[in-house]
């Protein structure tokens, strides 16, 4: 069995959570459990890669100390990374036990917060440990408290080894939504870099100019179809991939096209035509050459937005849905 411990405290000598974790590690080692502890305060520069370490673990322990309010930023940054970059299928099979000690107030709230977050990610949970410990000596000098810590470690071992079952909870419904939010293959650093470029007006204008120059250069060579845009509705109908529960209206304004392209999607039904739409869910504006690239499979709607060749109004997740509804290429 393999258990990973992610410690989100500051590593202070008198940290009661750190003391409890070390005591639990001793118990695990006696049970022949392989234990690896990750100190998040030392891993903050590569915290986005830490979810990869969950892949070889049967269970994890999220440990943090409430010093004044909440479980602290390090442990939440790790959970954010799990949401963005973690393997959700592996998480769904991994047990998590929270260990939260408070030197002020809020240990129960912190334990609940970690449990709810892990359940929202689709993971499994088992009983953890929490308590109010203003001084670490309170734990060190009390045999009953030490036995409780050791008993907690033993219970975690039993729960994981026996694959303990539990009734479904409402947070699992949230996991079905959160699991759909990660639609990027970019790393955290690449995402931040792309955001930096997207906010640079000079960079965006240069990209637009380069794209227009390339479009003018290759126009006619790559075959953009009917230049009046009369074939666009047909192109969209041919590649339409129905999505259950989707009810969206798109308005696409195109240069060199008198009327916008209107896409109405309702479950398995698609209406594609030229006309007017007063209240679209998403309104897009782009050059004709851009949509030609999209329908030829050389670009996506999301990619066009990120590079600045597509302007949009409306919910960004509905823009991403276009690439799911219409798969060109």
Q: Are strands 95-102 and 129-132 parallel, antiparallel or unpaired?
A: parallel
Residue with tokens 């408070």, as numbered in its chain: 102
List, in order, residues 6 or more apart from 301 with CB less than 8 Å away. Answer: 284, 294, 310, 319, 320, 322, 323
Of all residues in the chain, what percent carry a pLDDT higher than 70? 84
For residue 195, pLDDT beyond 60: no
For residue 223, pLDDT beyond 60: no
* Helix (H) or strand (E) segment spanning residue 61: strand 59-66
| Assigned token pair, 156 | 């975690």
Q: Please tell me the pTM assigned to this model.
A: 0.56
For residue 328, pLDDT beyond 70: yes
Choice between 205 and 63, residue whose per-residue pLDDT is larger = 63
For residue 294, pLDDT beyond 60: yes
Share the mean pLDDT of the chain. Answer: 86
Domain ranges of the chain: 2-178, 188-325
Q: What is the pLDDT of residue 284?
A: 95
Q: What is the pLDDT of residue 125?
A: 95
Q: For 115-150, write each residue's pLDDT tens digit.
A: 999 999 999 999 999 999 999 998 999 999 999 999
Q: What is the pLDDT of residue 222?
A: 38
- Average pLDDT for residues 290-310, to the nearest whole number? 91
Q: What is the pLDDT of residue 59?
A: 97
Q: What is the pLDDT of residue 187?
A: 56
For residue 178, pLDDT beyond 60: no
- Average pLDDT for residues 216-232, to the nearest whole number? 51
Helices (H), 60-170: 73-85, 88-91, 107-120, 137-140, 143-161
Choice between 71 and 228, residue whose per-residue pLDDT is larger = 71
Residue with tokens 């949009």, as numbered in its chain: 312
Q: For 45-55, write each residue's pLDDT tens digit.
A: 889 999 999 99
Q: For 97-118, write each residue's pLDDT tens digit.
A: 999 999 989 999 999 999 999 9
Residue with tokens 């003018």, as numbered in its chain: 216
Q: What is the pLDDT of residue 45?
A: 87
Q: What is the pLDDT of residue 251?
A: 95
Helices (H), the chain: 16-30, 73-85, 88-91, 107-120, 137-140, 143-161, 171-178, 188-198, 201-218, 232-239, 288-295, 301-307, 316-325
pLDDT tier for residue 183 given thresholds of 50, 70 and 90: very low
Q: For 259-283, write each residue's pLDDT tens digit.
A: 899 999 999 999 999 999 888 999 9
What is the third-level CATH fold of 188-325?
Answer: Nonspecific Lipid-transfer Protein; Chain A (3.30.1050)
Task: Give the C-alpha separation, 101 to 120, whole Å.
Answer: 22
The CATH number of the domain covering residues in 2-178? 3.40.50.360
């Amino acid at each position: 069995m393999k258990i990973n411990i992610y410690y989100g405290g500051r590593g202070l000598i008198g940290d009661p959570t750190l003391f409890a974790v070390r005591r639990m590690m001793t118990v695990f080692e006696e049970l022949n459990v392989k234990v690896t502890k990750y100190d998040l305060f030392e891993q903050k520069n590569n915290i986005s890669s830490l979810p990869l370490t969950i892949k070889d673990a049967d269970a994890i322990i999220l440990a943090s100390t409430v010093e004044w309010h909440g479980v602290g930023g390090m442990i939440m940054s790790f959970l954010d990374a799990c949401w963005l970059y973690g393997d959700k299928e592996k998480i769904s099979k991994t047990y998590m036990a929270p260990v939260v000690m408070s030197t002020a107030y809020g240990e129960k709230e912190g334990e609940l917060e970690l449990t709810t977050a892990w359940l929202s990610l689709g993971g499994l949970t088992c009983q953890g440990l929490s308590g109010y410990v203003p001084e670490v000596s309170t734990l060190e000098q009390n045999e009953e408290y030490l036995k409780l810590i050791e008993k907690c470690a033993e219970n975690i071992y039993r729960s994981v080894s026996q694959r303990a079952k539990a009734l479904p909870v409402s947070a699992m419904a949230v996991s079905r939504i959160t699991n759909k939010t990660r639609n990027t293959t970019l790393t955290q650093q690449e995402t931040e870099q792309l955001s930096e470029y997207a906010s640079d007006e000079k960079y965006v204008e240069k990209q637009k100019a380069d794209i227009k120059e390339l479009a003018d250069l290759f126009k006619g060579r790559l075959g953009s179809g009917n230049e009046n845009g009369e074939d666009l509705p047909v192109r969209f109908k041919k590649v339409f991939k129905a999505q259950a529960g989707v009810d969206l209206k798109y308005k696409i304004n195109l240069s060199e096209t008198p009327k916008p392209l209107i896409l109405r999607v309702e479950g398995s039904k698609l209406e594609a035509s030229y006309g007017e739409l007063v209240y679209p869910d998403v309104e897009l504006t782009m050059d004709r050459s851009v949509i030609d690239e999209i329908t030829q499979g050389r670009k996506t709607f999301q990619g066009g937005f990120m590079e600045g060749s597509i302007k949009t109004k409306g919910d960004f997740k509905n823009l991403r849905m276009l690439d799911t509804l219409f798969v060109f290429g």
